[in-house]
Amino acid sequence: MQKHQFSKIFLLIAVFWTLMIGSFILFLTYNKDKEVKQLALLEAKTSINKDFAYRSWIASKGGIYVPITKDSTPNPYLHVPNRDVNTTNGMQLTLFNPAYSLRQMTEHYSRLYGIKSHITSLKLINPNNKPLAWEINALKTIEHSRADFYEITPLKELRYMRPFYVEQACLKCHGYQGYHIGDIRGGLSIVLPLERYYAIFVSSTISNNTILLLLWIIGLVGLYWGYRISNEKVDEKLSLYEQNLFSLVSLIEQRDNYTAGHGRRVGEYSRLIAAKMGLDYTQQEEIYRAGMLHDVGKIAIPDSILLKPGKLEPIEKQLIEEHVNASYDLLSKVDIFSSIAEIVRHHHERLDGSGYPNRLRGEEIPFMSQILAVADCFDAMTTNRIYKGRKNLTQANDELSSLRNILFRGDIIDAALEIFSSIKLEEIPSQRPNTPLEMERFSYFYKDPLTNVYSTGYLNFLFFEPEFKEYQILYFINLHQMNRLNKEQGWGAGDELLKRYAQYLQELFPESPILRYEGDDFIIFSRDSEITDLKEMVHPEWIDDYSITVSLQVLMHERFNTHDIDSLHEILKQVSLE
């Protein structure tokens, strides 16, 4: 490779590095802006939740009597008996209803903390509650969306409104206005200044960008030093290239905590087997590198498949099988790796022709690929997966032995068993999420998007967790007449009921895993003994408004503690039909 070629390579890398750092700056700036807005929205929601909790408490008491002072004057719009009373010691009291109490409280809170809250409605009783222009728009929008409204204005304000829905108790004072249960009677709004949030944004952006610019400069200096060394020593350039590709493998493995260290272990296992079978040093190093890079093609596999923490569907298996061809295409184009490209391509072939990508049989499979296949299979057996437990050393060796001359060559299995009989397995983490990023991915796969409880697929994870054995009772809850509700009132009504009921169960069982099972049913696992009045608890009074009935079936530990996940699913299907 001549000097001008190194110059072109350096220039291209420098441009790429600059674009990458620039992209990171834009990405971090965008995400920091998004983050501060989310923080502001969270504060607004928290404030609204506090106000609603206060209003609900007042409503649960039927209103509250307070002394009449200049700051707490009687509500002139409340026409109920005993609005104003005198105590035995002569103190004058007046009845504050929930809305009037909330208005007094929010005005006081605004004066203290500068966060403007306002209770309002399109049908006014109290003219002081007259809506602003944006509140009118918010209330009209909410009428159609039936959801909270918020917007961020060019003036750097966050405006947020949550609606009041008409309940039975509301009709006592507002029935004459023509409201019906479920109507939107008005809302509570909040205006949150964003200056301090954007101060955080500016400060954080400057810090991040300074670090990235320093990193960019350091990177350019490092690239230039590499350029100087490359002009002097071609061999060192090739070595650096190899290290970069190994770093790429490490990056791929970091996408999924299951694969972390997988390439290194497979490479080491392959080299040990090759040495045991008498292969020379060059071949041992070659198969080690093949093991290190055997999954490099997974970079082409979509995250939704590669990172899926459960069993793959048939079409997903077909797509992930393409990683061997992607690995071959990548490695065959690099001179120093072209010799291992064919080894990597066929490491999923099997003696009986059941492998992929070419369904090769027997001696059609390259010998080195067969060694790599055994090492890869052993590491897969001794690594945790959500849908299966990790095998210990004896179990893994027994399974390898059972596959002798069926899927793998007998002499390779014999050499592998000698190696693995005394090897010490690494402590390998399970796929249970530990970091916020892993938790987000976990939720993506296992949270039901409608109800925000776990989906049915979560059962395949929970079954293999140690804590599953601790659950003493399984509650199976059936919601009946859901089809009728969906048919008469529309799917929206059914969805709203499921969301509300799921939230109710979460409040009822805050420490227990709750699953939405097969559409209209729910499963709850509990460590506690059975609650005697649970049948009444899982049938809240409000659900009668939907003409829905609820049935509860209780399964004791002895019935649902099966040996395999398929049996558990079969038990649950039977229960759902009972």
CATH number of the domain bearing residue 497: 3.30.70.270
> In sequence order, which residues have a C-beta less than 8 Å from that of residue 476 and are 6 or more positions away?
517, 521, 522, 523, 552, 553, 554, 555, 572, 575, 576
When computed from its CA atoms, the radius of gyration of the chain, rounded to whole angstroms, is 33
pLDDT of residue 2: 42
pLDDT by residue for the chain (578 residues), tens digit each?
444 555 777 788 888 888 888 888 888 888 888 888 888 888 888 888 888 888 888 877 778 888 888 878 888 777 777 788 887 787 888 888 777 888 878 777 777 776 788 888 888 877 888 898 998 999 999 989 999 999 988 768 889 999 988 877 777 666 677 778 888 888 888 888 888 888 888 888 888 888 888 988 888 888 878 777 766 665 666 566 667 666 766 766 666 655 667 888 999 999 999 999 999 988 998 999 899 888 888 878 777 777 666 677 888 888 888 889 998 998 888 777 888 999 999 999 999 999 999 999 999 999 999 999 999 999 988 886 655 667 888 899 999 999 999 999 999 999 999 999 888 887 665 556 666 666 666 667 788 889 989 988 888 878 877 788 889 899 999 999 999 999 989 999 999 999 999 999 999 898 889 999 888 899 999 987 666 678 888 889 899 888 899 999 989 888 888 878 888 888 898 888 77
> Is 323 in the same domain as 377?
yes
Q: What are phi and psi of 539, to 5 degrees?
A: -120, 80
Question: Are both 360 and 256 inside the same structural domain?
Answer: yes
CA distance 525 to 326: 43
* Among the listed residues 435, 436, 430, the one whose alpha carbon sits nearest the alpha carbon of residue 462: 430
Cβ neighbors of 450 (< 8 A, separation 6 or more) are: 495, 498, 499, 516
Structure tokens at 109: 């809170």
Tokens of 335: 């001179």
The whole-number pLDDT of residue 498 equals 94
Residue 280's domain comprises: 234-420
Residues comprising the chain, all counted? 578
Question: Is the separation of the CB atoms in 41 and 225 below 8 Å?
Answer: no
Residue among 469, 485, 287, 262 at smallest CA distance from 381? 262
DSSP string, 396-461: HHHHHHHTBTTTB-HHHHHHHHHHHTSPPPP----SS--SHHHHHHHHHHHB-TTTSSB-TTHHHH
CB neighbour list of residue 17: distance below 8 Å, 6 or more residues apart: 216, 219, 220, 223
pLDDT of 278 reads 94
d(CA 249, CA 319): 19
Q: pTM (2 decimals)?
A: 0.47
d(CA 574, CA 578): 6
State the pairing for strand pair 184-193/92-96.
Answer: unpaired
Token representation of residue 390: 């990790």
Say how far apart CA 538 and CA 480 lie, in whole Å: 13
Q: Which residue carries 């072939």 as its tokens? A: 349
Task: Give yes or no: residues 330 and 416 share one domain.
Answer: yes
Under the phi-then-psi rule, with left for phi > 0, alpha for psi from -120 to 50, and beta for the rest, what region is 182? left
The DSSP secondary structure of 521-562, one letter per residue, reads EEEEEESSPPPTTHHHHTS-GGGGGGT-EEEEEEEEHHHH--
455 lies in the same domain as 408: no
Q: Are residues 412 and 451 in the same domain?
A: no
Residue keyed to tokens 């200044």: 193
> Which of 385, 420, 455 corresponds to the end of one domain?
420
Structure tokens at 424: 């010490």
Q: What is the number of domains present in the chain? A: 2
What pLDDT, on a 0 to 100 scale, did the predictor assign at position 239?
Answer: 66
Helix axes of 367-381 and 410-420: crossing angle, nearest 10 degrees:
40
| Residue 521 bridge partners (DSSP) | 478, 517
Q: Which residue has the tokens 């009772």?
A: 473
Is there a single domain that holds both residue 350 and residue 461?
Answer: no
Residue 16's SS3 state is helix
CA gap 578, 569 in Å, rounded: 14
Give me the pLDDT at residue 156, please: 80
Domain check: are 465 and 554 in the same one? Answer: yes
The answer on 456 and 415 residing in a single domain is no
Task: Report helix, strand or coil for 512.
Answer: coil
The helix or strand, by DSSP H or E, that contains position 94, with its residue range, turns out to be strand 92-96
Query: Does 28 reside within a domain?
Result: no
Give yes or no: residues 410 and 456 share one domain: no
Q: Is the peptide bond before 466 cis (omega within 30 degrees of 0)?
A: no
Phi, psi of 524 (to 5 degrees): -130, 130
Q: Residue 152 and residue 505: Cα distance in Å, rounded? A: 34
Residue 474 and residue 342 share a domain: no
Q: Would residue 487 count as lying in a domain?
A: yes
Q: Is residue 144 part of a domain?
A: no
pLDDT at 530: 60
Residues 278 and 355 in one domain: yes
Q: Are 102 and 188 in contact (CB under 8 A)?
A: yes
Element (H, E) at 307: none
The SS3 of residue 226 is helix
Instruction: Answer for the pair 576, 521: CB distance below 8 angstroms, yes or no.
Output: yes
Is there a single domain that holds both residue 391 and residue 512? no
CATH code for position 408: 1.10.3210.10
